[in-house]
């Protein structure tokens, strides 16, 4: 995962992130949860890639911006 970040390989980073999260979710031994999450990931994958590719900061960290929040993740308004 660190190599993917250092090399700015967004697809590889998301693959590693999903693999790590899959391990955690599988520990819950809830097949419905795992199936739901995998389906959600499949539907959102293109959006995650587009969003992630444009959000690298100079310090090589990934910043995720959520619509309806400020840059610090606080609700706007």
Structure tokens at 50: 């587009």
Contacts of 3 (CB under 8 A, 6+ apart): 9, 12
Residue 14 contacts residue 48 (beta carbons within 8 Å)? yes
Cα-based distances in Å from 60 to 32, 55, 63? 35, 10, 9
pLDDT at 71: 55
Q: How confident is the model over 46-77, as pLDDT tens digits?
A: 888 777 776 665 455 555 565 665 555 455 55
Is the pTM higher than 0.85? no
pLDDT at 39: 92
Q: Average pLDDT, whole number, for the chain?
A: 76
Other CB atoms within 10 A of residue 8 CB: 12
């Amino acid at each position: 995962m660190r190599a993917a970040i250092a090399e700015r390989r967004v697809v590889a980073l998301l693959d590693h992130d999903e693999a790590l999260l899959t391990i955690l979710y599988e520990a819950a031994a809830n097949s419905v949860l795992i199936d739901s999450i995998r389906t959600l990931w499949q539907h959102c994958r293109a959006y995650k890639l587009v969003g992630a590719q444009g959000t690298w900061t100079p310090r090589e960290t990934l910043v995720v911006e959520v619509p309806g929040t400020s840059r610090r993740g606080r609700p706007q308004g």
